[in-house]
């Protein structure tokens, strides 16, 4: 977390870009102002079509055609069906998993339980490679990691037979499942129900209403008793007079929190003598910068694709661009997963498989400060927080007049967005909107040019 919230976001976008560099916008429901901006017909005065006379000739196809259709915003996905063996679990499938598990013995008891992960159990690689469009899909299965009564379980749920396989269950305590959003919320609010915590905050002269707390890394912290518990350390910050609260840590104050029982186990309070850094000049948002209205405003830069993007997304997940194609899907842990990346070789007329599956497996961020309040800051952003779970909806680029309207202008105008469908800790499906955007970007920016007079002559 922290500076990393933004780096996470960056990663999601760049991972998508890096792959192919793509584009989007709300084409299916483009608001009239956006439509006008893209209207590069002869009558248009859109600033984005300044070079239309150059680009638009008789052979140019109309803009409205050939543009990949994005799903309508707020599409509820309730009737989505899988089209490809690697397509993520749909809303209906996640509901089915929940219903199958609700009658499973493991969840019958009153012991607290939660689902930390519900994702597609991908079929065998050979089955996937042999599958062709039009073939029946291999059996759809879900891989579920559940935490029940302080134990972790790995379950494979077959959606067609309702059979549940418990491989090695409960799994040995050599690792712990991802921290759910629900667990993060309870960790963040737990300190405030502790009188000792309130007392120390008050004694530091900090207003409790200004304090926010965040779970840092879960793990084992050297105390023998804790080695059977799933615990995390919580730290707190003052938000007084700044949104940039990471600049204002309440040093030396850490709370040990049991994620399963939701109890504070221990408070370490050693930093009373360490002052909280001031808030002056810690807010870097454009609108709050002094004299921001006196800076010369910037005009929007827009990539023009008068004929629309060159890629298409078939069946929601299959991206085709030039002679490349790949399957792209959101994932709660990895953020996004690219699969079956292939290139068609025009010389041999063969399609070559380049990569079966690719994703960012982890982002490990150890702070390497051995002091008591810092040694445990060893974030595993994918494995503990989940790139996908933490992903924010990507925002389209701001309209020109409101260039600095918000902090997030993530994707260029003709990006195509993809939603993630994930499961909450109780198994209810939910949709994370616009978590991936796909767009093409001009990557040339060549700052040199070379030719020779005998070859080209001199321009007149």
Ligand X SMILES: *[C@@H]1O[C@H](CO)[C@@H](O)[C@H](O)[C@H]1NC(C)=O
| Residues of this chain that bind ligand X (CB under 6 A) | 25-26, 29-31, 34, 73, 192-193, 195, 198, 207-209, 396
Cβ atoms within 10 Å, residue 273: 7
Q: Which two tokens stand for residue 108?
A: 């019958």
Q: Which residues contact 98 (CB under 8 A, 6 or more apart)?
A: 423, 426, 427, 428
Between 57 and 209, whose beta carbon lies closer to ligand X?
A: 209
Between 33 and 228, whose beta carbon lies closer to ligand X?
A: 33
- Answer for the pair 165, 134: CB distance below 8 angstroms, yes or no: no
Least separation in angstroms between CB 362 and ligand X: 32
Collapsed DSSP state (helix, strand, coil) of residue 430: strand
Between 5 and 30, whose beta carbon lies closer to ligand X?
A: 30
Between 24 and 180, whose beta carbon lies closer to ligand X?
A: 24
Count of all residues that appear for the chain in the document: 460
Least separation in angstroms between CB 433 and ligand X: 11
Of residues 367, 409, 416, the one with CA closest to residue 30: 416
Least separation in angstroms between CB 199 and ligand X: 9
Least separation in angstroms between CB 288 and ligand X: 19
Between 175 and 205, whose beta carbon lies closer to ligand X?
A: 205
Of residues 15, 5, 106, the one with CA closest to residue 335: 15
Q: Which two tokens stand for residue 386?
A: 């989940």
| DSSP run (H or E) holding 183 | helix 181-189
Which residue has the CB atom at the shortest distance from ligand X?
26
Least separation in angstroms between CB 93 and ligand X: 27
State the sign of the Cα–Cα–Cα–Cα dihedral 236, 242, 246, 249.
negative
φ, ψ (nearest 5 deg) of residue 200? -70, -35
- Cα separation, 328 vs 68, in Å, equals 15
Between 363 and 392, whose beta carbon lies closer to ligand X?
A: 392
Least separation in angstroms between CB 35 and ligand X: 9
Cβ atoms within 10 Å, residue 333: 22
Between 180 and 254, whose beta carbon lies closer to ligand X?
A: 254
Q: Angle CA(327)–CA(329)–CA(335) in degrees, nearest 5?
A: 135
Least separation in angstroms between CB 47 and ligand X: 17
- Answer for the pair 389, 54: CB distance below 8 angstroms, yes or no: no
φ, ψ (nearest 5 deg) of residue 88? -65, 165
Least separation in angstroms between CB 166 and ligand X: 41
Between 160 and 193, whose beta carbon lies closer to ligand X?
A: 193
Between 114 and 206, whose beta carbon lies closer to ligand X?
A: 206
Least separation in angstroms between CB 34 and ligand X: 5
For residue 113, what are the β-bridge partners? 148
Q: What is the DSSP string of 370-390?
A: -STTTTT-EEEIIIII-HHHH
């Amino acid at each position: 977390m922290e500076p990393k919230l933004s780096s996470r976001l960056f990663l999601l976008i760049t991972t998508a870009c890096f792959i192919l560099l793509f584009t989007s916008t709300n084409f299916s429901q483009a608001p009239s102002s956006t439509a006008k901006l893209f209207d590069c017909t002869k009558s248009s005065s859109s600033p984005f079509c300044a070079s239309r006379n150059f680009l638009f000739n008789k052979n140019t196809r109309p803009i409205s055609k050939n543009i990949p259709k994005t799903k309508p915003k707020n599409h509820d996905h309730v009737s989505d069906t899988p089209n490809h063996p690697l397509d993520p679990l749909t809303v209906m499938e996640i509901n089915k998993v929940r219903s199958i598990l609700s009658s499973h013995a493991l969840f019958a008891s009153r012991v607290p339980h939660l689902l930390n992960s519900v994702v597609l159990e991908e079929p065998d690689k050979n089955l996937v490679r042999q599958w062709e469009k039009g073939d029946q899909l291999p059996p759809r299965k879900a891989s579920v990691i559940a935490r029940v009564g302080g134990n972790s379980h790995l379950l494979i749920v077959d959606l067609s037979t309702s059979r549940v396989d418990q491989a090695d269950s409960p799994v040995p305590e050599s690792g712990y499942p991802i921290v759910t959003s629900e667990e993060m919320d309870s960790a963040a609010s737990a300190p405030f129900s502790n009188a000792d915590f309130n007392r120390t905050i008050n004694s530091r002269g900090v207003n409790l209403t200004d304090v926010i707390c965040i779970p840092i890394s879960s793990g084992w912290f050297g105390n023998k008793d804790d080695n059977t518990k799933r615990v995390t350390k919580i730290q707190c910050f003052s938000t007084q007079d700044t949104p940039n609260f990471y600049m204002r840590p309440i040093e030396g104050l850490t709370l040990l929190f049991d994620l399963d029982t939701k109890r504070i186990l221990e408070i370490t309070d050693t930093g009373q003598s360490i002052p909280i850094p001031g808030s002056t000049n810690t807010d870097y948002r454009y609108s709050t910068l002094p004299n921001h209205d006196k800076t010369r405003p910037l005009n929007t830069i827009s990539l023009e694709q008068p004929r629309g993007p060159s890629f298409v997304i078939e069946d929601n997940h299959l991206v085709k661009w030039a002679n490349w194609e790949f399957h792209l899907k959101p994932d709660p842990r990895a953020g996004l997963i690219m699969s079956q990346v292939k290139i068609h070789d025009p010389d041999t007329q063969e399609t070559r498989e380049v990569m079966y599956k690719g994703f960012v497996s982890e982002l490990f961020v150890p702070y390497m400060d051995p002091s008591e309040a810092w040694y445990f800051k060893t974030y595993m952003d994918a494995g503990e927080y989940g790139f996908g779970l933490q992903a924010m909806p990507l925002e389209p680029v701001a309209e020109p007049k409101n260039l600095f309207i918000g902090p997030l202008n993530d994707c260029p105008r003709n990006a195509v967005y993809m939603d993630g469908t994930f499961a909450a800790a109780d198994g209810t499906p939910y949709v994370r909107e616009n978590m991936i955007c796909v767009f093409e970007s001009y990557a040339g920016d060549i700052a040199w040019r070379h030719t020779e007079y005998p070859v080209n002559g001199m321009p007149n």
